[in-house]
Homo-oligomer: A and B are copies of this chain.
Amino acid sequence: MKDPLVVFIPSGKKGRFSTGTPLLDCARQLGVDVDSVCGGRGICGRCQVVIAEGDFAKHGIVSNAGNVEPLTDPERRFDVRTGLIAGRRLSCHARLLGDLVVDVPPESQIHRQVVRKRAEVRAIEIDPVVRLHYVEVAEPDMGVPDGDHQRLVTSLREQWNLSIRAIEPDALETLQAVLRKGDWRVTVAVYQGNKIMRLWPGFEDRLYGIAVDVGSTTIAAHLCDLATGEVVAACGQMNPQIRFGEDLMSRVSYAMMNDGGAAELTASIRAGIDQVFAEAIAEAGIPGENVAVVTLVGNPVMHHLLLGFDPVQLGHAPFALVTNEALERSAASLAIASLGAGTQCYFLPCIAGHVGADTAAMVLSEAPHLGEAISLLVDVGTNAEIVLGNKDRLLAASSPTGPAFEGAQISSGQRAAPGAIERVRIDRGTFEPKFKVIGSDLWSNEEGFAEDVANIGVTGICGSGIIEALAEMLLTELLTKDGIIDGTKREFCPRLIPEGRTFSYLLHQGIPEIRVTQNDVRAIQLAKGALYAGARLLMDEMEIDTVDRIVLAGAFGSHIDPKYAMILGLIPDCALDHVSSAGNAAGTGARIALLNAKSRTEIEALVAKIEKIETAVEPRFQAHFVDAMAMPHKTAPYANLRRVVDLPQETQVENGAGPRRTRRAGRSRTTRQ
């Protein structure tokens, strides 16, 4: 008579095992992905399975009825202690009695997947660098002089088949006390299967990690459960370095001009991160010791300062990085007191002197290297980081856009904060505007708007607002392709107000009054010219004229409407439904590096292969920049855009006071491929 057949779904792996074999043993022998922290002792409940119901004919099994041992005592105890959903079994104790189909639910799989909100990006496979293992350790014996450390290592080998090669100094210091407190039963956090990071007396199944994106302006941290990938707490705060200067270069200057300045900046950012971590831990209600690992991303200056590297070389050509490899540091060495001293802090690698670990993380998140499609990733801040390519080749550059997109250098500009105009529409007939401000869902011409913004006010215009204002002015031909506010339209549009030899457009008549000035247009033209020229330089290098997909990342990329970005020509032409906002892609990349061990080697290998293009030394950059001052562009046809937007075909205005009447031409279509 044959041994019973057991089939695991969804994997479909199957095999025959002796009657009485625990289902977990069957799963392990078949290589079925079933989790366990306690090693089959009925404590952790991670190995739960469901005895399937339904039609098993395709598996060659008639019925599951009676083919598994009834609920055992350890399962009953687990049910009383922790609760066991009806129909669930602990596979470590449920034994095989006959042919059986066993369903492994996602939460019992070690390598479960976390599906992300955006459909176009890959799911994160949970496979953290640190895992928990419950072990029973032999007590010391005068006849066998092995240290406690050696006996622990032996237990991990015998009970978990692990080859431990190292132990965190911090863990070694507490080893004896923890072993005795746990009465020789402990849970061990093991890094990559070979290094003991920490241990807890008795059974422990809470293990966390923090992914942190250290921006020049804000620090954003996500505290994640390493078993499920779930974000347990998300915290952020302003970068406390702001008191040393708003932008990066003023901080680098501070480091250069002041003795010990770099050390001050380092202490400041480390303290800021420590605060954010402490807040995240408090919000999650967990002990800091249970955070086993941290991943950090940031631009090169933040990366260097965090690590205690003087950023002075990043302030001038040739912008030499200290290192472009990934680094590991202990929390203690970074003066992070809210976590265990030995918590591993992993810094993603920087790509070049002004293309940082945040860009590497964006690549990890958006994965241009996994497909055939040519992706263009853009993260706009004071500089724009640009990555272009596909599975065959990746290029990266940084382009000096300046701070105009962040509202600086704009007459009524401000940061994206409550009260800032962020959306603008201009009526094609009346040239009257309507707008939305951050903090209100109403358009300015809707009923109740005044009441809705009574407290926040209409305080200025942020980056996305000025983009939309200019794009709408272009569409209504108040603005020429070359960026001249067309004063000849004044008779139809009283909102055009002369200012010296130029005109401005009155967007909001309040206190303050918000206008779009000719200088504002010039500032945006310069910024968008630099952004477009950077992208175009990479496209030249790759010898392509169009891209298949554009991802706008970062805070600005999240606020901006891709359509308006394209109308102004910030980005090259692309089918609009292939342009997306990635949100905090750098933060997501940090989270991937936190939850998936292999992603670290993936991004490290990738960064070594990414080709860096230096915009500053490329003569073509200047030519592209000049051509890109026109909106959307002097020559690029923007065929995809014209399919969905009624773009003025040709504008010809003399520079200065006497513009000619603009001519409206029919749509010109240029088809790609």
Q: Which of A149, A308, A312 has the most CB of B within 10 A?
A: A149
- A324 near B150 (CB under 8 angstroms)? yes
Which residue in chain B gives the minimum CB-CB distance to A329?
B169
Which residue in chain B gives the minimum CB-CB distance to A319?
B142
Whole-angstrom CA separation of A177 from B311 in the bound complex: 11
Partner of A145 from the list B167, B310, B317, B353 (CB cut-off 8 Å) is B353
Whole-angstrom CA separation of A325 from B172 in the bound complex: 12
**Is A617 located at the chain interface by the 8 A CB criterion?**
yes
- B325 near A149 (CB under 8 angstroms)? yes
Q: Which of A139, A146, A167, A320 has the most CB of B within 10 A?
A: A320
**Is A285 located at the chain interface by the 8 A CB criterion?**
no
- A333 near B169 (CB under 8 angstroms)? yes
Known A-B contacts A176-B310, A310-B177; the reply to A617 vs B321 at CB < 8 A is: no
**Is A498 located at the chain interface by the 8 A CB criterion?**
no
Partner of A142 from the list B141, B317, B325 (CB cut-off 8 Å) is B317
Known A-B contacts A169-B329, A173-B309, A310-B177; the reply to A318 vs B147 at CB < 8 A is: no
Query: What residues of B have a CB within 8 angstroms of the CB of A325 in the complex?
Result: 147, 149-150
**Is A616 located at the chain interface by the 8 A CB criterion?**
yes
Query: What residues of B have a CB within 8 angstroms of the CB of A333 in the complex?
Result: 169
Interface string of A347-363 (1 = CB under 8 A from B): 00011110100000000
With both chains docked as a complex, state the minimum distance between the C-beta of A186 and any C-beta of chain B, in angstroms.
14
Whole-angstrom CA separation of A17 from B143 in the bound complex: 62
With both chains docked as a complex, state the minimum distance between the C-beta of A530 and any C-beta of chain B, in angstroms.
17
- B145 near A176 (CB under 8 angstroms)? no
Whole-angstrom CA separation of A257 from B307 in the bound complex: 40
Which residue in chain B gives the minimum CB-CB distance to A179?
B320
- B351 near A145 (CB under 8 angstroms)? yes
**Is A25 located at the chain interface by the 8 A CB criterion?**
no
**Is A313 located at the chain interface by the 8 A CB criterion?**
yes
**Is A148 located at the chain interface by the 8 A CB criterion?**
yes
With both chains docked as a complex, state the minimum distance between the C-beta of A194 and any C-beta of chain B, in angstroms.
15
Known A-B contacts A172-B309, A176-B310; the reply to A322 vs B148 at CB < 8 A is: yes
Whole-angstrom CA separation of A612 from B320 in the bound complex: 56
Known A-B contacts A614-B142, A617-B142; the reply to A147 vs B308 at CB < 8 A is: no
Whole-angstrom CA separation of A172 from B308 in the bound complex: 9
For chain A residues 567-592, which have a beta carbon within 8 Å of chain B? none
Query: What residues of B have a CB within 8 angstroms of the CB of A175 in the complex?
Result: 322-323
**Is A60 located at the chain interface by the 8 A CB criterion?**
no
Interface string of A169-195 (1 = CB under 8 A from B): 100110111000000000000000000
Known A-B contacts A173-B309, A177-B310; the reply to A149 vs B323 at CB < 8 A is: yes
With both chains docked as a complex, state the minimum distance between the C-beta of A388 and any C-beta of chain B, in angstroms.
16
Whole-angstrom CA separation of A645 from B152 in the bound complex: 54
- B147 near A320 (CB under 8 angstroms)? yes
Query: What residues of B have a CB within 8 angstroms of the CB of A353 in the complex?
Result: 142, 145
Query: What residues of B have a CB within 8 angstroms of the CB of A139 in the complex?
Result: 318
Q: Which of A167, A175, A310, A323 has the most CB of B within 10 A?
A: A323
Partner of A308 from the list B146, B173, B320 (CB cut-off 8 Å) is B173
Query: What residues of B have a CB within 8 angstroms of the CB of A329 in the complex?
Result: 169
Known A-B contacts A147-B324, A147-B325, A323-B149; the reply to A142 vs B318 at CB < 8 A is: yes
The interface of chain A, by Cβ under 8 A from chain B, is 139-143, 145-150, 167, 169, 172-173, 175-177, 307-310, 312-313, 317-325, 327, 329, 333, 350-353, 355, 612, 614, 616-617
When A and B form their complex, which 4 residue pairs have the shortest distance between CB atoms, in order from nearest?
Answer: A145-B352, A149-B323, A140-B320, A147-B321
A-B contact pairs, 5 of them (CB 8 A): A145-B321, A145-B351, A148-B320, A148-B322, A173-B307
Other than A149-B322, A173-B308, A175-B322, give 19 A-B pairs with Cβ distance below 8 A. Answer: A140-B320, A142-B617, A143-B617, A145-B324, A145-B351, A145-B352, A145-B614, A147-B320, A147-B322, A147-B324, A148-B321, A148-B322, A149-B324, A172-B323, A176-B309, A176-B310, A176-B313, A176-B320, A176-B322
